[in-house]
Amino acid sequence: MKYRTNIRSGEQVSLLGFGMMRLPTIGGDLSKIDEKEAISMLRYAIDSGVNYVDTAYAYHGGNSETVTGKALKDGYREKVSVATKLPLWDAKKTSDLSEIFETQLKRLDMEYIDYYLVHSIEDELYETFKSLDVYDFVKKAKDSGKVKKIGFSYHGSTTKLFKELLDDYDWDFAQIQFNFMDENTQAGLEGLRYAGEKEVPVIIMEPLKGGLLSKKVPDSVKELYKTYPVKRSPAEWAFRWVAEYPEVLTILSGMSTMTQVEENIKILSADDLGTFTDEERDVIAKVISEYECKIKYACTGCKYCLPCQEGLDIPGMIELVNNIGVYDCFEDSLIAYKGWVNPKSIKCSSCGKCLERCPQKLKIPDIMAECSALFDVVK
């Protein structure tokens, strides 16, 4: 296993971090974790050198933290750094933050948390962040010794807010979504490099874009990968691309099978990580271009179409339609649609206000009807 040095603490952190959000389940119920298999997978990873474990309050219907705690018994807790996250969306008042935190310590059955993150800060949630005086809460948590390092995970729509957060507080680390298809979305490469300038270690999530870059890879993309003399899986290409950046402390992978654990450990144990050649960059550039050719609607995610009077997440719905064409991922998109993009199946009223505001002049009501036809008929 390869390691990176946490520039702030001097700790050696494994380049592969174990994400506890896509654990094996029983009967297709995300809340019913196959504990025996999940524990076996995590302990195998730790025995193989992984020393960063990432969970969250909300993962697997609230059961991920509990299983993480069980897996780290028998001396495994002392071998790793544990990260979990504070869900601001579950807090209505400042006192709720402490209650959630204490619940997390009980679930994990731990006296302290190594890396504690404010979970998934994005544009709308930032208002909650400010109203609950989160800075004061995380400072007190760290001063108490129950938290060793304070950070945040970011899903905002612009690099601007990410930079603002980094400038507002002396964070110990930050976590961003980053892969070769998301180089210029959310915090993006610009945010990654800005964090590096401020000497804030960065944890990477979604290196495989939720598995989209490795599950159903188009034949045309596979052929592009084959042009390189060294044969690699799509997952290896994606991991290697992220590992090239020195600002990256660790790369999280939400693994569901022992095979994935074994493969990812092998990939992130290679001696030549972080040495991407011009030839390799050329392959990835062609792969990106091939994926982009499959994008149906040229939505930039600017959100000028919002707010929608019907409460629709217009950019989110367009992204799901695009993802089906690009990544052949209907089931993944359906889960996202039902879970958070449009959980109440609210219908577009064709009021036309979004048409006036869209810089790309997309026919949004037609796209919303297409999205509804794709997903609302599936129970």
211 touches 287 (CB < 8 A): no
352 touches 310 (CB < 8 A): no
Which of 104, 49, 102 has the alpha carbon at shortest distance from 80? Answer: 49
From-to residues of CATH 3.20.20.100 in the chain: 3-285
Return the DSSP state at 12: E
* 161 phi/psi in degrees, rounded to 5: -65, -35
CATH of domain 3-285: 3.20.20.100
- Cα 147 to Cα 127: distance, rounded to the nearest angstrom: 24
Per-residue pLDDT in tens (0 to 9) along the chain, 379 residues: 999 999 999 999 999 999 999 999 999 898 999 999 999 999 999 999 999 999 999 999 999 999 999 999 999 999 999 999 999 999 999 999 999 999 999 999 999 999 999 999 988 889 899 899 999 999 999 999 999 999 999 998 889 999 999 999 999 999 999 999 999 989 999 999 999 999 999 999 999 998 999 999 999 999 999 999 999 999 999 999 999 999 999 999 999 999 999 999 999 999 999 889 999 999 999 999 999 999 999 898 888 899 999 999 999 999 999 999 999 999 989 988 988 788 887 889 999 999 999 989 999 999 999 999 999 877 5
pTM: 0.92
Q: HSE-up of 306 (CA within 13 Å, CB side)?
A: 14
Can you say how many angstroms the Cα of residue 207 is from the centroid of all Cα atoms in its chain? 8
Return the DSSP state at 89: G
